[in-house]
């Protein structure tokens, strides 16, 4: 396996077309690592063998397998609460099975982290809904643990204090966090820099994504995603805080835009921005 550098830049990307075509798309940005997402509608039969061959041939290192689910909808907060992750009871059983199946594919690819949006976790720690999702997290942690993996929750839909309590209540050492600073802003759940300080001991991967806060006059609305460096995250401050708390993993760019050409342009700008910020950090370190 290729050795990765500290704070190496990667990309969150979705399996599409053939594995080799997908990897060559990512590599056009000068990247050799990232997070491999499996769309909810994608058949998994034969996926491990196809991806293993492509990853070896293209000399590419996936650091996370990201699991999404058929039927998820991120239109607004009520829709997210109703459709996203493992919380909705009507889709829970099939999504738990899907998560375990992605974990099994990831094991064959030597990927040691399986990530997802778990959904809106109840803030009432004594409620039946909270206990149910806690037990589901334990079940998936145990499956991932048997595969030598972490089960990794993406931030955004809960304030840091809720996520911290949830991790404590699940009581599994392999329950970890994929920290997305923009999601904290898009959902209006807290200042991302402050949240990172609180959650840092559990963070094993990050997204470099940007966005603006939800409009104050529309409580059900989500904020708007922006190109990296153009939103409210303050990416320079975010990178500084990552280094301060000891994070040395991959900086996974995530950019979702409806126009593919705009998305590609934004990814290129994000790569250049992160190169500049990490070089500045390295220069400051060498002078201290």
* CATH, domain range 9-287: 3.20.20.150
Contacts of 219 (CB under 8 A, 6+ apart): 77
Q: Sketch the domain layout of the chain as residue ranges.
A: 9-287
Q: Model pTM greater than 0.75?
A: yes
The H-or-E segment that residue 133 falls in is helix 128-146
Question: How confident is the model at residue 280, as a pLDDT?
Answer: 58
CB 71 within 8 A of CB 119: no
In this predicted structure, the answer to whether residue 281 has a pLDDT above a threshold of 80 is no
Compute the distance between CA of residue 162 and CA of residue 158 in angstroms, rounded to an integer.
6
Distance CA 56, CA 84 (A): 33
Element (H, E) at 110: none
pLDDT tens-digit map of 215-247: 999 989 999 999 999 999 999 999 999 999 999
Residue 42 carries which DSSP code? S
pLDDT at 284 over 70: no
As a whole number, mean pLDDT of residues 72-85 equals 96
In whole numbers, what is the pLDDT of the chain averaged over residues? 96
């Amino acid at each position: 396996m290729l050795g990765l550098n500290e704070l190496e830049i990667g990309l969150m990307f979705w399996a599409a077309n053939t594995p080799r075509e997908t990897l060559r798309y990512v590599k056009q940005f000068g990247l050799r690592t990232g997070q491999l997402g499996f769309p909810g509608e994608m058949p998994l039969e034969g996926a491990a063998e196809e991806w293993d061959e492509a990853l070896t041939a293209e000399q590419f290192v996936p650091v996370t397998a990201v699991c999404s689910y058929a039927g998820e909808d991120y239109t607004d907060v009520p829709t997210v609460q109703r459709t996203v992750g493992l919380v909705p009871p009507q889709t829970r059983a099939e999504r738990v099975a899907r998560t375990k199946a992605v974990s099994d594919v990831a094991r064959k690819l030597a990927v040691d982290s399986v990530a997802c949006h778990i959904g809106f976790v109840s803030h009432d720690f004594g409620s039946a809904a909270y206990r149910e999702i806690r037990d589901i997290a334990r079940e998936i942690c145990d499956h991932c643990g048997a595969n030598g993996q972490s089960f990794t929750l993406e931030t955004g839909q809960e304030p840091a204090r809720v996520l911290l309590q949830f991790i404590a209540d699940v009581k599994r050492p392999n329950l970890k966090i994929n920290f997305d600073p923009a999601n904290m802003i898009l959902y209006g759940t807290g200042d991302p820099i402050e949240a990172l300080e609180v959650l840092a001991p559990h963070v094993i991967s990050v997204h470099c994504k940007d966005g603006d806060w939800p409009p104050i006059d529309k409580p059900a609305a989500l904020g708007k995603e922006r190109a990296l460096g153009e939103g409210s995250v303050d990416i320079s401050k975010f990178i500084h805080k990552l280094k301060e708390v000891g994070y040395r993993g991959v900086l996974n760019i995530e950019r979702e835009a409806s126009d593919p050409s705009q998305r590609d342009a934004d990814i290129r700008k994000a790569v250049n921005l992160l190169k500049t910020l990490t070089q500045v950090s390295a220069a400051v370190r060498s002078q201290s």
